Structure 1
Amino acid sequence: MADLHHGTFSYSTGPTAADVLPRSQSENARSQLVEDSAATQKLKALQAVFLSALKTSLDAHSSALPILSFSPIHALALELEPFEEEPLKAIAFGNISPDNYIDLFWDITNEQNELSWGKFTVYEAEQSSEPRFLVCFKAQLFELRYIRCDVLVREYPEVSDAPDSFLQDPQNSIHKSVQDAVQMIRRGTDMHDHLDEFPSIRTAYSYIKRWAAIRGLANAFPDHHIFKSLLKYQKTNPDLATPRQVGDPSSSALITEFFKQDAPKTDSIPAPTGYSSFITKDWENLLVKLDSLRLDEKCAFPHTIRVAVTYSGRSPVKGAQWLLMVQRRLDKLKDRLESRIPNTPIVQIWPQRLVSEDAMLGDNVYEGHFVLGLRLSPATKQADLQSAQEIAETWRKQVENDKATLKNQCFVRIVVDNIPTGLKICGRKWPRVILTGENTNHSDSDGESSQFPKKKRSKSPLASSTSTPHSSDTKAKRFRTASEVLNRLKFDNNYNIDEWAIGYIDRVRDMILEKPASDWDRETTAEEFIPEHRIEYFKRYSPGGEGEVGEERGEIMWSKKQKLDEIFRSG
């Protein structure tokens, strides 16, 4: 549902009608059981990959056996159904340092992709004392956070088993944030059992989440807000105190109660009333009706700030990088509006990027719109609108000064007005960037590194099976993969990707063909997707030269067959 950040340039346009419209009651229940079971199994398989790596890991400086334990949280722990591109979250507790965990993670990534490209892909990475990665494993998105707490995992490998007396004992020196994380996992376990007893809560949750997505209110009604409200209604209503079956009248009662108490605080469309029993068709019709509304009818705010973006460059990757930067800065614009306008307004970021109704997917020049809804005090509306304009213009200038903004290719303008008309949800997909550890040294929009800074690695914790605890800290420089070469061409400003071509094996023609590196599509669902293990070479064509890709004027700079690497100087 939400667009991904940091390393991901796959712009989800938000839920489509197919995503948000509920299935039939029985189909939804059956599908949820299958999907939840599959997600849980994939998390266990992911943990098994890490544990296998730890078994072959040797650290000369560690006297303790490495421990790593994965715990599901939020939707994954509760077996609540996510949207297609919404990651399921888990925390890994361990007794290895964050730096060693980071090294372990990237080594696992390389090993998994050597076995099967695309099985383990990294879209997002953040460095801190608690590293976080967004990965796709077996076609499922996971957000993994790592917490080091030696004393906890040694005594309680299943961290949720640790009693409060142990967590709060001063002698154990367990940080408050770790205690909170353990408490959250425990609550998740208890809530999971409660949901199994009251399946109508899951049904109501799934419906309300889709309603919020259609209405553009997903940020106003996050998962925990919906879930807490439903629990409150269920516990305080005597008629709902007895366990029910999926789809009984209690689901309808929970949804109706949410519309009466929570929705009116943000939603200006009259809440549905009069449902005395849960009838799936009625709820379906409501969502269909809401989804068919024009944007100006869906938007629950009387005023908006529209960030109009135009990209006229030829590189989809650079365009994606720029749009990502703009999108990431929207939160800062929202914060400034809320903190600097005297009569604090209500500001809501519309979750999908928009385009004109007559826009085509293949337009050479991309024109899109990010929209922020504004609800201002009537008494100071005109003054507040002027303040909003000034704040947004200052923000726009900072966007233009960002290094991702390419001169004469990227343009931004601000429009503060009523609800815009003539717009639709953008259906264009931008290329997705896959991180490998080599392309994670990017600065964010404030000039600070949002990825892992390059550091000298003395020894990878994922040692080969022939290593010994006293083996040398240095090892032979491995031959860099085609994926790493492609990432360098895309992200290293010293290279112009438009000068490069990729030679790959065409299985139909049984010969090597070439295509521009800038056109190489990594999205596995793309029509022109080609597995990267088919790449045979990278060729550089002299800038400004005549001829087309495929002619003999280029120079091969990386060759898998010849073990030639003039880019990283590896091999």
Structure 2
Amino acid sequence: MAEPSTSSPPPSPRTPSSIHFQQEFQQQQQPAVFSLTSHDTALALVPPSSLWPRIDRLRALYDKAYPKWPPHVNLVYPFVRPDLLDEAVDRVAAALSSSFSWGSTSSPKRQIRVRLARPGVFEHGGRKNKNGNTIYLCDDEDPGQGESVCLGVLEGLRNTVLASLGQASGDYRMHLTVAQSEDVEAAPHKFLLDKVGLLPPVEWEAAELAVLVRERDGGGGSVMRLWGRIGLEDGRVERLGSLAAFYQDAKASLLGPREGEDAERDLLQSGVSYCGGEEPERWAPPFVPPKLAVASYNVLAEFEWPPSEARYPLVVRNILAENAQADVLVLQEVTDGFLSYLLSDKQIREAYPFCSHGPPHLDGIEPLPSFLNIVVLSATPFDWEYVSLNRKHKGVLVARFKRVGRTDGDKFLPVVLAAVHLTHGLADGAVASKKSDIKRIIGYLSKNYPDHPWILAGDFNATTSSISINAAVKAKAISEQSASHLASLDNLFSEARLVDAWKSTADNEADDQGVEGERGATWDPTANGMAAVMAASGGNKWPHRYDRILVRGEGFLEIADFNMFGFLTEQRPESELFASDHWGVRCTLNMSGLGESSEEPSEEISELVVPVQPEKGPEHLVVAGSVKDALVELQVIPSEADATKRKRALDLLKSVILDTTSTNAARVRSHPTIVVVPVGSYALGVWTSSSDIDVLCIGPFSSNTFFALASQRLRKASAQGIRILRRVQANTGTMLELEVDGIRFDLQYCPAASIAERWPDVLRASASDPVWSLSAQALSKLKAIRDIDYLRRSLPDLTAFRLAHRFVKTWAKARGIYSARFGFLSGIQIAILLARVQKLLARELGASPTPEALVATFFHHYARFDWSARLAFDPFFHRRRLPYSRTAREPLAILGYFPPALNTALAASVPSARTLASEFRRASEALLLRSATAATAATNPASSLTSSWSSLLSSPAAHAAEFLAAHKSYVRLDVQYWGLSRSRSGARFLGWLESRCVGLLVDLHRRAPGLHVRMWPARFVERDGESGNIVSSGASGTGGKNEEEEGITGDERDFRCCYLIGLDKGSPDMSKEDLKVAFGALQTGLARFEAQMRGDEKYFDAKSCWLSATVVNRAELGELELDSREWGEHTLGEEEFDEEDEEGEEEAASGLDSEHDEFARKENKKKKKGGSAARKQIAAVDLRADKTKKFRTAADALNRIRWDPQLDSSDYVVGYEDRFIGVQEKELGAWKSEQTDDEFIPQHRILYFRRKSDGKLVWDRRTRLDELFGNAA
């Protein structure tokens, strides 16, 4: 590495403190003199490796020492001969460990706060020289900000080191080399210096000196390796034993790319996309239209310094012009200044909220790597990678669009865009490079994205004019072989099945007299004044079709249109101003299947699909917006205020669970990965103002550990409006019912570390991916989010789907068929039924149906659906085969997408299936009847069409009243309890009863198949006709202290209600004798049900509960109405279960760390035994006084410090016994518990745990001292 000698840079003023330190050391010791002349060793400050990428992205392109050297600040270079290195390092270490301080006297620790934020230049030998000038980063030298203190401290350190080696202090300039340049007056040097100045500040706390040694290879090359480290605080020397590399692939990088080798992803230059505004919710992506427009534009860089911005406004106008509007925009020759200007435009940010690079002028954002760069802007999210080609500064930006692509079964294949800007020029080397680069690009895409749709867009710089090529051959500027290479480029594209968008849409018969290769020219000096200027200076005066868009659709993308843009100009007094020397190109693509694979379903699947016939309906019913108007009229669609409130509540819940409000940033970063995502109706965007929000957390802990920690954090956040209502044990595991800012939440957890680590990309992983090898319970929890993710990616029109879903759900609630618990419809079932209708309609019509057509077709289709014999499933997902076999016990089959259970209607019974079929027929007939009625109304057509839709959506109370009058006889389940709290014990009792109702319906149908039983999925209460009050038993509560504390009245502890099952003849031909037999069987079944319920001692206590099941006539029902009271409200002291819930099966199946479980079990026991009053403090108890108390193990203490959120693990050290050295200490964060780890130490060697902040022991094995679990006994 060509480093300036320590005497070459201009001197910096020496501080008095540094001189004092040097003199003091020299008075103490007069060492032997070491010669500092060897360029094979160095003493340097090396920043943390996490800071290297931002520096190395420029060093890799501009610093000839990369990767021979890491980013570094030399302290002494050249240093001592390698054979004297051991002795010299010991001398330096002794000096640093001496009693006096080389640093600032006010600093408690001998560390250096390094901040490099200003560019500088070392000029070597004048303006122009073959050795080049060094461009570097140095400190700010701003005394007002205090950064200049670093110079004095660093110089003091250097002088101490030099004195220890017998050398006098010399001139020194702290610097970190980034690049080299040639002429300091030339524009390239000034552009590069400006680029280095755009780097975000490089800051770190330097705690050690790195000792570097040069390692030479047999070919004359060399690389600096790490020999060891010297601690600044105590002078401790760490000798590595063998030289360590700074870069794993340093040797390969030195060799450079070999001709013919495959292109590979450049991990250093690849990055993340930036969002120009507020990033959209992950679960609220914009609707992806059935067309995709891709544009490419070479904006022509400014090559003179300072760069002129005169063309920039005109370039932006052309990009925003109507003929250039696109979903994806690829730009070439983008500079730092132009990108900053472009992304400052509000209209650009609104049109393209996502960009591959951020504006370099903003703090914290890196500059673009090269002078000329490729940048991709998009209206939809994408991620990208950089693929280096065989020349510096030449590569391909490969973008993957997260929500645009085709699906192949359960595998999502996003559209892949390769943005290119190939080598320019008509010479043998340039032509060979172009051909090689194209082969590499195609090879890379074929290897990494073989089945994905491809788009290649950009400036290919391929000469196309036959006149220009023939002239070059004649002038011997290129060989005949190069000319044949240019002609063969189209063959390369054809072999890769890439279709040229211009060729596929151009009129090949037009302009037959034109010169071959000049039609469709995007660089045309005969029409573009800017290109004419370039042609005059370069001699290339013929038009060429440099810019292209090529597509390999894979049955998903189809070229629909092609056009050029960039024709807007500006009249100047001296001449006409053109935006660029290139015209832009744009291609419009049709996306067949609206997000689905074009592969047709297999013959097996096709036989199972029930075709959907489009139902247009009367004209007044299909008026655009009529369904939405009906929903707005009934206040079903939430307001913006509701949406904002829910988003704020969800964000608050996320921040509390993830503890993102913690002031200790290091602790937050060290937390394991936990994913918090909404599921259910909120995730799908079909929620209403009365909906709660279902939230799923995914992480590495066991369920016990997660809920223990989450409950602590949620209780601590009670002042922010968070309340834990109750903790319930559902079939799927533990669930917390919460209230956040008045919004109800259901919080569930799935222990799956591998899913959390790969989130959200794991959702695109194939079902056969080993990452899904989880327990059935874990897959069951993840199923909701996987199903919703697929729905959102595959629906042709999400807006229409949401309106239709809300309409059907509101209708189902009103008609009493929306309750999965009772075997009726659920939200996901409605989504599946709607999605298959929408997709089949879209394929049939060639476009997504309107909400009105979708709703009408939905009801008419399922009114004719044979539920007993047919399966309702999405044939666009289950395309090849259906991994499901229907059993005789499944009267209804509505199949979801992902395992473990495909059938979402397992709770359905024969009676509930019959009820659903009947209600679909009723809705279909009602639509036709009311359509005809509304069509004859001549007074107010608008009101008529709204009322036609609204008539299906009457209030649940009105339809319940209709149910009460629809049957002659009913099964009445009378329920009563007294002395129980409504929010917990009462709700638990009723929930248990409702979970048994499906079994009752199945039993009644088995005993009396001739009867049709229809249950209304809600509670009815009786109202006193005289007083108007709800009738209860009138008994008072249990009284006493508990009631007074909870503020619960006697009426709230005493509740009576009933459930009703309507009875009808299964057939009109049923005889009286058959009816009598059926009613007898019915009575027998009810008596058995009543006996079973009363015999369940776990849930039924005769001292506080009562239940009866009888058959009554309509007249005996009394004055009944729906119970409108809310259940499950918060009650003090009732957040947790009475019985212990270890969830052993779930945790054993997940294979999680038992150490986490141990902590959770102890936390739960503490809550149950000690209550909440003693939770906050950890009492110190000296267990030496009582030898009978259990002394907690070192593993217990270690886990407590690691996982207790009230303890800062970084403030503790572990004292342990080394077999050779004795008692040693180690940072707790560095302690390894895995036996396979190289640094593993058995836990029986742990002697104590000490708190660093006060030096106090909190656990000591020898004295049996335990301050961590002192209050656990």
Range into which the TM-score falls when normalised by the shorter chain: 0.5 to 0.7
User: How many pairs align?
Assistant: 440
User: Which of 813, 818, 830 is 1:213 aligned to?
Assistant: 813
- Establish whether residue 353 from structure 1 lines up as the match of residue 1042 from structure 2: no
User: Which of 1113, 1118, 1121 is 1:424 aligned to?
Assistant: 1121
8 Å contact 1:135–1:142 — kept in the other structure?
A: yes
1:72 match: secondary structure: strand
Match of 1:309 in 2: 975
**For residues 125 and 176 of structure 1, do their structure 2 counterparts lie closer, same or farther at Cα, with a shift above 3 Å needed?**
closer
Aligned pairs for 1:24-39 within 5 A? 24=630, 31=638, 35-36=642-643, 38-39=645-646
**For residues 22 and 319 of structure 1, do their structure 2 counterparts lie closer, same or farther at Cα, with a shift above 3 Å needed?**
same
1:432 match: secondary structure: coil
**For residues 49 and 293 of structure 1, do their structure 2 counterparts lie closer, same or farther at Cα, with a shift above 3 Å needed?**
closer
Q: Deviations over 1:30-85 (max 9, x none)?
A: 7366545543453333222111179799xxxxxx852210233231221112461x
1:332 offset after TM fit, Å?
1.7
Match of 2:739 in 1: 136
- Identical-residue share of aligned pairs (%): 15
**For residues 54 and 133 of structure 1, do their structure 2 counterparts lie closer, same or farther at Cα, with a shift above 3 Å needed?**
farther
**For residues 384 and 241 of structure 1, do their structure 2 counterparts lie closer, same or farther at Cα, with a shift above 3 Å needed?**
farther
**For residues 176 and 462 of structure 1, do their structure 2 counterparts lie closer, same or farther at Cα, with a shift above 3 Å needed?**
same
Aligned pairs for 1:466-481 within 5 A? 466=1208, 468=1212, 470=1249, 474=1268
Aligned pairs for 1:477-488 within 5 A? none
User: Which of 272, 278, 288 is 2:926 aligned to?
Assistant: 272
**For residues 253 and 309 of structure 1, do their structure 2 counterparts lie closer, same or farther at Cα, with a shift above 3 Å needed?**
same
Distance (whole Å) between structure 1 residues aligned to residue 1001 and residue 1119 of structure 2: 26
**For residues 22 and 432 of structure 1, do their structure 2 counterparts lie closer, same or farther at Cα, with a shift above 3 Å needed?**
farther
Q: Deviations over 1:173-194 (max 9, x none)?
A: 5445545655653442342355
Aligned pairs for 1:392-431 within 5 A? 392-400=1086-1094, 402=1097, 410-417=1105-1112, 420=1117, 422-428=1119-1125
| Amino acid aligned to 2:677 | S
| Amino acid aligned to 1:48 | S
Aligned pairs for 1:469-548 within 5 A? 470=1249, 474=1268
Distance (whole Å) between structure 1 residues aligned to residue 1206 and residue 917 of structure 2: 58
8 Å contact 1:204–1:251 — kept in the other structure?
A: yes
User: Which of 710, 723, 731 is 1:120 aligned to?
Assistant: 723
1:265 offset after TM fit, Å?
1.0
Distance (whole Å) between structure 2 residues aligned to residue 251 and residue 136 of structure 1: 34
2:717 match: secondary structure: helix
User: Which of 961, 969, 976 is 1:295 aligned to?
Assistant: 961
Q: Deviations over 1:487-509 (max 9, x none)?
A: xxxxxxxxxxxxxxxxxxxxxxx
**For residues 323 and 66 of structure 1, do their structure 2 counterparts lie closer, same or farther at Cα, with a shift above 3 Å needed?**
closer
**For residues 295 and 163 of structure 1, do their structure 2 counterparts lie closer, same or farther at Cα, with a shift above 3 Å needed?**
same
| Amino acid aligned to 2:838 | Q
User: Which of 743, 756, 759 is 1:153 aligned to?
Assistant: 756
Mark the runs of 5 or more structure 2 residues left unpaired by the alignment.
Answer: 1-626, 665-669, 868-914, 936-943, 1035-1054, 1142-1160, 1168-1195, 1213-1227, 1229-1248, 1250-1257, 1260-1266
Distance (whole Å) between structure 1 residues aligned to residue 637 and residue 1017 of structure 2: 29
Distance (whole Å) between structure 2 residues aligned to residue 395 and residue 281 of structure 1: 44
2:809 match: secondary structure: helix
Match of 1:50 in 2: 657
1:164 match: secondary structure: coil
8 Å contact 2:1020–2:1059 — kept in the other structure?
A: yes
Match of 1:371 in 2: 1060
| Amino acid aligned to 1:282 | S
**For residues 351 and 462 of structure 1, do their structure 2 counterparts lie closer, same or farther at Cα, with a shift above 3 Å needed?**
farther
Match of 2:826 in 1: 222
1:23 offset after TM fit, Å?
6.4
Larger Rg: 2
Q: Deviations over 1:198-219 (max 9, x none)?
A: 4222222212212211221112
Distance (whole Å) between structure 1 residues aligned to residue 697 and residue 743 of structure 2: 17
Distance (whole Å) between structure 2 residues aligned to residue 283 and residue 342 of structure 1: 40
Q: Deviations over 1:458-493 (max 9, x none)?
A: 649342154545455735769xxxxxxxxxxxxxxx
1:355 offset after TM fit, Å?
2.0
Distance (whole Å) between structure 2 residues aligned to residue 95 and residue 50 of structure 1: 14
Distance (whole Å) between structure 1 residues aligned to residue 695 and residue 1121 of structure 2: 35
Distance (whole Å) between structure 2 residues aligned to residue 143 and residue 319 of structure 1: 15
| Amino acid aligned to 1:224 | I
1:391 offset after TM fit, Å?
3.2
1:107 offset after TM fit, Å?
0.7
Match of 2:1002 in 1: 338
1:280 offset after TM fit, Å?
2.7
**For residues 178 and 463 of structure 1, do their structure 2 counterparts lie closer, same or farther at Cα, with a shift above 3 Å needed?**
closer
Distance (whole Å) between structure 2 residues aligned to residue 42 and residue 339 of structure 1: 44
**For residues 269 and 32 of structure 1, do their structure 2 counterparts lie closer, same or farther at Cα, with a shift above 3 Å needed?**
same
| Amino acid aligned to 1:49 | V
1:103 offset after TM fit, Å?
0.8
Distance (whole Å) between structure 1 residues aligned to residue 1057 and residue 678 of structure 2: 37
- Give the TM-score of the pair, scaled to structure 2: 0.31
1:131 match: secondary structure: strand
1:292 match: secondary structure: helix
Match of 2:708 in 1: 103
1:260 offset after TM fit, Å?
5.7
8 Å contact 2:656–2:714 — kept in the other structure?
A: no
1:436 offset after TM fit, Å?
5.7
| Amino acid aligned to 1:372 | I
Distance (whole Å) between structure 1 residues aligned to residue 1061 and residue 1140 of structure 2: 26
8 Å contact 2:735–2:748 — kept in the other structure?
A: yes
8 Å contact 2:957–2:1122 — kept in the other structure?
A: no
Distance (whole Å) between structure 2 residues aligned to residue 53 and residue 290 of structure 1: 42
2:985 match: secondary structure: helix
User: Which of 58, 62, 66 is 2:672 aligned to?
Assistant: 66
Mark the runs of 5 or more structure 1 residues left unpaired by the alignment.
Answer: 1-20, 58-63, 445-451, 479-569
1:169 offset after TM fit, Å?
2.6
Distance (whole Å) between structure 2 residues aligned to residue 351 and residue 462 of structure 1: 44
Distance (whole Å) between structure 2 residues aligned to residue 105 and residue 168 of structure 1: 31
- Establish whether residue 81 from structure 1 lines up as the match of residue 687 from structure 2: yes
Match of 1:509 in 2: none
1:24 offset after TM fit, Å?
4.5
**For residues 100 and 250 of structure 1, do their structure 2 counterparts lie closer, same or farther at Cα, with a shift above 3 Å needed?**
closer
**For residues 303 and 260 of structure 1, do their structure 2 counterparts lie closer, same or farther at Cα, with a shift above 3 Å needed?**
farther
1:404 offset after TM fit, Å?
6.2
Distance (whole Å) between structure 1 residues aligned to residue 708 and residue 1134 of structure 2: 9
Q: Which has the higher contact order (CA 8 A, sep 6+)?
A: 1
